[in-house]
Structure 1
């Protein structure tokens, strides 16, 4: 380990600051983290990068990730959003994965699945858990089946010698709705990280 920035304690500290300052504009957050890195590098320039006690002293001087984030957000007139109720987040993620079992409902499965995806996208947009960028990304993935499901159905119909059979249609819907699973996985990981940061900062 040649640089103090590579120390696990420093990386964990900066990762927490980055998560807690998500409401800041991206450039402002990059500047903040660059300033913190420079401070750590200068403070530990003459120290052994593996000296955990010295690293802890410098990080204590900086303040906890929560203190750093709150000060930075206050300068920009912003506040750090608290994680929303875990049950609300879980319900949103449930709607995101619900299209797959709904696809098994005869005749009306696909419309029900699309309705669940729309509800999930709406709940994501109203949530306090995710950043604007994460919300945009998740919404695009949740609503992607509007395009991907028909495209997958067309591919299955062309590839099959029997045309678009019921089995092929179900498979096409499963493929077409797979972006919703990706959205649920990304949202779940982000919510978990935010909770961890709030609990340990």
Structure 2
């Protein structure tokens, strides 16, 4: 085989490492995979063999994908996240996005929206499935409507007056970060669940 890293066993090994290192930044993950490819190529070139048994021996010396991923995560100060149930994740994300419609409830809406955003933020913070970096980003995005919505209302009011349509526009602008947070958290949870199923 011309390129040792194209061997099916090597590809499967590297794919597993990539799945298990999902909490790492994309750049760090690419760097790790490039190092592993280089190591496999050099080891197979030195062994002067490209048969399946030689590939298995090189991969065995390299270590299991889980062990490699755990070492890389520990090096970056990341704990290996554990997936939650789909129901718990869905509840957390619903609480996050529920804040926007709650805001429109007359009289009690802003208070309910704030409580919903705070509960979602606490649930994300306590969850074992998201990394510390993801939790910090999510907290900022989930709580940003508290400041962003009034700022958007001021901008809308200064340009067109604070009409009911203007209030809706301000709310929509204010809650865009919440939708971004929910999307990113859902995608991360889905990747983690897929990696756990493949393990």
Give the shorter-chain TM-score range.
0.7 to 0.9
**How far has the Cα of 1:45 moved from its partner?**
4.8
Question: How far 1:36 moved relative to its partner?
Answer: 2.3
- Structure 2, unmatched stretches of 5+, are none
Give the drift of 1:153.
0.3
Change (3 A) 1:137 1:3: farther
Q: 1:78 to 1:134 in 2, by over 3 A?
A: closer
Structure 1 residue 5, shift from structure 2 partner: 5.6
Structure 1 residue 12 corresponds to structure 2 residue 15:
yes
Equivalent-residue separation in structure 2 for 1:158 and 1:57 (angstroms): 68
Q: Quick one: structure 1 residues 158 and 72, their matched pair in 2 at CA, closer, same or farther if it must change by over 3 Å?
A: closer
Decide which of 148, 169, 172 is 2:170's aligned counterpart. 172
Post-superposition offset of 1:107: 2.8
Shift of residue 93, structure 1, vs aligned partner: 0.9
The answer on whether the counterparts of 1:17 and 1:69 sit within 8 Å (CA) in structure 2 is yes
Structure 1 partner of 2:37? 37
CA contact (8 A) 1:130 1:191 kept: yes
Match of 2:192 among 168, 191, 194: 194
The residue number in structure 1 matching 2:149 is: 149
Residues 1-201 of structure 1 aligned to structure 2 (within 5 Å): 9=12, 12-19=15-22, 22=23, 33=33, 35-45=35-45, 57=56, 60-61=59-60, 62-70=62-70, 80-160=80-160, 163-201=161-199
Q: Which has the higher helix share?
A: 2
Q: Provide the C-alpha distance between the structure 1 equivalents of 2:151 and 2:3, rounded to a whole number of angstroms.
A: 50
Q: TM-score, normalised by structure 1?
A: 0.75
Tell me whether 90-99 or 30-39 shows the greater mean CA deviation: 30-39
In structure 1, how many angstroms separate the alpha carbons of the residues matched to 2:97 and 2:54?
A: 43
Contact 1:10/1:59 (CA < 8 Å) preserved in 2? no
Q: Check the 8 A contact 2:95/2:119 in 1, yes or no.
A: yes
Summarize deviations over 1:6-53 as a string: whole Å, max 9, x none: 88646523312422xx48xx98x888656423322323559xxxx9x6
How far off is 1:54 after superposition?
A: 8.7
TM-score under structure 2 length normalisation: 0.75
